[in-house]
Amino acid sequence: MAKFSKIMMGKEVGDASVYAEPHTMDGKKYVAKKMKDPNLLSANEMTNRTAIPRVSMGDPGADNTKTTGIKVRGTGAATKGLMARGPMG
């Protein structure tokens, strides 16, 4: 007889791992896949099934920063944020 953790309401009950190894519905042994830490992945290694990283996934080495744009109307005496650089269209 297997060792159970306790008796409740006259029945022996316990955690499933006490009497059964982790398995699939086919009865085959379950093998957990090791997942890489998403914070250590580069941007091109990310997929839609990757866990959400705790940090930004931008590439700091990329030189694709947009420096041109159009001057925005109605800025008055503003000294910063005069140019619009996002998609316009």
pLDDT tens digits for 27-68? 898 888 888 888 888 888 888 888 888 776 666 667 777 778
Alpha-carbon gap, residue 58 to 42, rounded angstroms:
8
3-state secondary structure the chain: CCCCCEEECCEEECCHHHHCCCECCCCCECCCCCCCCHHHCCHHHCCCCCCCCCCCCCCCCCCCCCCCCEECCCCCCCCCCCEECCCCC
- pLDDT the model gives residue 84: 82
Is the pTM of the predicted complex or chain greater than 0.85?
no
- pLDDT the model gives residue 5: 67
Q: How far is CA 54 from CA 23, 41, 51, in A?
A: 32, 12, 9
Annotated domain spans of the chain: 12-55
The alpha carbon torsion through 33, 37, 42, 46 (nearest 10 deg) reads 50
